[in-house]
Amino acid sequence: MTQLSFSSGDLVADRRADYARMLADAGDFAAAADLMRQALELVPSWPAGHFTLGVLEEKSGRLAAASEAFREVLRLAPADIYGAGLKLAALGQAQAPSQPPAAYVARLFDDYAERFDSALVEGLSYSIPEKLTALIVANAPDRFKTAIDLGCGTGLLGERLRNRVSFLKGYDISKGMLAKAAEKAVYDQLAPADLASGPANGGVPLPDNEALKADLVTAADVFMYLGDLEPVFATAAAIIATDGYFAFSVEDGAADVDWQLQPSLRYRHGEHYLRALLDRHGFDIVVTERGPIRKDGAETIIGLLVVARRRSAAGVTLADLPVIDASPDIAPTEVLH
């Protein structure tokens, strides 16, 4: 993503940035980068412009110049809503962070919300919601009392699970995505949450007692935007009832790595790492499925889909838990802020 849509506040600089975009669209990245440098001479404190310059320099093969531009972005905007730190890591100029900046992920999906469904399903042959739903249907109960969809996005997975769930919650870091999900009237409750954070720091809230835990938690195409999955697996273990199910997808990584940042700025995860995490947090794997999940340009991305089950405590099963009321005091599709 080349932040050319972010105005500099200077009409001449913006016009040069537009010309740079046209040159980039034509494949002349070096000339586009040179024109962006001219724009930045007029507005040297424009972080989005420096990020665009970094992308253009990278595409032109001038990696040292690209790194310099991304470092300038971080100096001007240390919260890193642009993902400049991830870019530096992908270029081998910094250590890959275990988690991307929350501000970057939120902005990325806020920007993407309006065109998310059509871009993924129609443009990238995105198939995780259908495949993960089929895996759940084939290997888990027919119905669930309470399901929590982590990183629910616009509700592509929720739409497919709705008729199997009595009460469906969705959490996402992007308010833009939550707004699109609310339009579909699929979820009984929607709320913002940063999956990489604990419940006290904007993460998924934990239930007050065992009876309020979910019997299904899902995360479709979510863990690609997290490196170290320890925090979110700990959350899953805390919110899933005994004998409940945890269904998720990852981009399939090499067997000898835990997690690895890709040039796409998404993360891949190794199966051995996932198995160790699940075991440590009290889950047994029910089924795994490896196969294509989307396109990325000419590349076909291979994913790993997993359905796991929370281990039973002595003498306790889902049948022993009370039926969860569908929270009549909360209006359907209510977005909590």
* pLDDT at res. 126: 81
Q: Say if residue 237's pLDDT is above 70.
A: yes
- pLDDT at residue 313 in the model: 59
**Is residue 334 predicted with pLDDT exceeding 60?**
no
Third-level CATH fold of 115-335: Rossmann fold (3.40.50)
Predicted confidence (pLDDT) at residue 321 exceeds the cutoff of 80: no
Better-predicted residue by pLDDT, 83 or 117? 83
pLDDT of residue 330: 33
Question: What's the average model confidence in pLDDT over 169-187?
Answer: 95
CA angle (208 as vertex; 207, 212 as ends), nearest 5: 55
Asked whether 115 and 134 are in contact (CB, 8 A), the reply is no
> Which pLDDT tens digit goes with each residue over 7-22?
888 899 999 999 999 9
Regarding the domain with residue range 11-95, which homologous superfamily does it belong to in the CATH classification? Tetratricopeptide repeat domain (1.25.40.10)
Examine the pLDDT at 4 and tell me if it is beyond 90. Answer: no
Q: Where are the domains of the chain?
A: 11-95, 115-335
Using the predicted structure, report yes or no on whether residue 304 has a pLDDT greater than 70.
Answer: yes
The pLDDT of residue 122: 62
pLDDT band at 249 (very low <50, low <70, confident <90, very high): very high
Q: What pLDDT sits at residue 314?
A: 40
188: which residues sit within 8 A by CB, 6+ positions away? 167, 168, 169, 326, 327, 330, 332, 333, 334
Res 331 pLDDT > 70: no
3-state secondary structure the chain: CCCCCCCCCCHHHHHHHHHHHHHHHCCCHHHHHHHHHHHHHHCCCCHHHHHHHHHHHHHHCCHHHHHHHHHHHHHHCCCCCCCHHHHHHHCCCCCCCCCCCHHHHHHHHHHHHHHHHHHHHHHCCCCHHHHHHHHHHHHCCCCEEEEEEECCCCCHHHHHHHHHEEEEEEEECCHHHHHHHHHHCCCCEEEECCCCCCHHHCCCCCCCCHHHCEEEEEECCCHHHCCCCHHHHHHHHHHEEEEEEEEEEEEECCCCCCEEECCCCCEEECHHHHHHHHHHCCEEEEEEEEEEEEEECCEEEEEEEEEEEECCCCCCCHHHCCCCCCCCCCCCCEECC
Residue 326 has pLDDT above 50, yes or no: no
User: What's residue 225's pLDDT?
Assistant: 94
8 A C-beta contact, residue 190 and residue 181: yes
Predicted confidence (pLDDT) at residue 315 exceeds the cutoff of 80: no
Residue 119, pLDDT above cutoff 70: no
Read off the pLDDT of residues 143-155 as tens digits, 9 standing for 90 and up: 999 999 999 999 9
Q: For 19-23, 27-31, 242-246, 314-318, which range has the lowest pLDDT when averaged over its residues?
A: 314-318
pLDDT bucket at 6, cuts 50 / 70 / 90: confident
C-alpha–C-alpha distance, residues 248 and 293, integer Å? 13
Give residue-wise pLDDT tens across range 27-48. Answer: 999 999 999 999 999 999 999 9
Q: What is the mean pLDDT of residues 124-144?
A: 92
- Copy the structure tokens of residue 281: 């947090």
- Residue 330 near residue 168 (C-beta atoms within 8 A): no
Query: Comparing 11-95 with 115-335, is the CATH topology the same?
Result: no
Query: Rounded mean pLDDT of 271-298?
Result: 93
Report pLDDT for 195. Answer: 93
Give CA–CA dist 8/160, Å, rounded: 42
Q: Residue 319 has what pLDDT?
A: 38
Single out the residue of 104, 148, 131 nearest to residue 237, CA to CA: 148
CA dist., res. 49 & res. 55, Å (int): 10
Q: Over the chain, what is the mean pLDDT?
A: 88
The pLDDT value recorded for residue 121 is 64
Token pair of 211, please? 């009876």
Percentage of the chain beyond pLDDT 90 is: 76
Asked if residue 183 lies in contact with residue 113, where contact means CB atoms within 8 angstroms, the answer is no
pLDDT-wise least confident of 146-150, 311-315, 333-337 = 333-337
pLDDT of the residue at 101: 92
The answer to whether 157 and 129 are in contact (CB under 8 A) is yes
- Check if the beta carbon of residue 13 is closer than 8 Å to that of residue 42: yes
Q: For 58-80, what is the mean pLDDT?
A: 96
Q: Does residue 199 or residue 2 have the better pLDDT?
A: 199
Is residue 321 within 8 Å of 164, Cβ to Cβ?
no
The Cα 261–Cα 81 span in angstroms is 17
Per-residue model confidence (pLDDT) at position 117: 65
